[in-house]
Amino acid sequence: MTKSKLFLRNSAKPALLKLSFILFLVAGCSPSISPSYFREDITQAIKDTYKKEYKADIYPKLVGKTLWIYLPIEDMVSGVDKKEKPSKYVERFSIEENNNNFENGTFKLGYNIKIIPEKEKIQEVKIDDAVFKKINGVIMVLRRVLFSMHRAKAAEPNFICVVTADIKNGFQMKQLSYYPDLKKVSYGFIGVEEYQHRSINDISIEPKAVGDKEGLYLDYNDIEMADFIAAQIQYRIKLKFSKPEVKQSVDIDKEVLKIAAYTINIYGFKDFDSVELDNLETNNKLSLNQQAILVRSIEKRF
């Protein structure tokens, strides 16, 4: 089995990167009666459609069952308008470490989540609205092309990874999504909030992005389902302990286990042997086999 942490290992921590998630606009669309695109056509169709409608270049690349999209922009971050009421949030936990991987049939979850004195903070900078519009444009074009493609066996991608790079200042934003989840939210089978939790968003400082208009610095790879689930568990842990309603009296190990079981169950994933939890703050370790994970209740939201 592979050992992978995808792209969450080098997340930057400055205040300017304080984001809970990225909300993409989801509009309804009707499936085509006959396919407009075949697998070999989709990257060029995405590139040409975006160029025509948004007057900008994007660089799609299909690697196995993973569709990558590189969107070069400038000035990703902007200051919060002083005339606007700044967003406030409360910090109760410090995530010192949050590293998950899938190795030899086991999901290995290592985390160090500390309780800290409550502190109210103000978000002083944000992702520029124009950047969100450009990313939304990418998603809309993706949906239009992919929802109109030939649905032969193994034709559709499993994963979509959109990389938005600030080629002037060296910031990078990635969104990794499971393509069936995009279809489910589009047709109302899952809610927008659930989709936001399933779509892994990460912002980092990436000096290699400076001046790279085509995404040559990226390591394009075909993402495996187990690695995606491990990364999503990691992302959900980050979101969980950033929520204002989470009390400091919460059982951290129990919440991490709940997140792991929930994520594995929603995808019906059974190609694993066990889940290992390693609380690096308390040195508490726990290992559960596949059966114990699959029978855990997923009714309670987190």
Give the DSSP H/E element, type plus range, for residue 137. Answer: helix 129-146
Residue 34 is predicted with a pLDDT of 58
Contact 92, 262 (CB under 8 A): no
Residue 4 is predicted with a pLDDT of 44
What is the average per-residue pLDDT within 250-270? 96
Q: Does residue 61 surpass a pLDDT of 60? A: yes
Instruction: Compute φ and ψ for 144, nearest 5 degrees.
Output: -60, -45
Strand order in the sheet with 284-289: 88-103, 106-122, 274-279, 284-289
Closest to 258 in 3D by CA, of 237, 273, 278: 237
Q: Is the pTM of this model over 0.75?
A: yes
* Residue with the larger pLDDT of the pair 55 and 78: 55
Residue 195 is predicted with a pLDDT of 95
Question: Cα(180)–Cα(267) distance, rounded to whole angstroms?
Answer: 10
* Tens-place pLDDT, residues 118-148: 988 777 677 888 898 999 999 999 999 999 9
Q: Does residue 301 surpass a pLDDT of 60? A: no
Instruction: Compute φ and ψ for 72, nearest 5 degrees.
Output: -85, 130
Q: Does residue 164 surpass a pLDDT of 50? A: yes
What percentage of the chain has pLDDT greater than the value 90? Answer: 71
What percentage of the chain has pLDDT greater than the value 70? Answer: 82
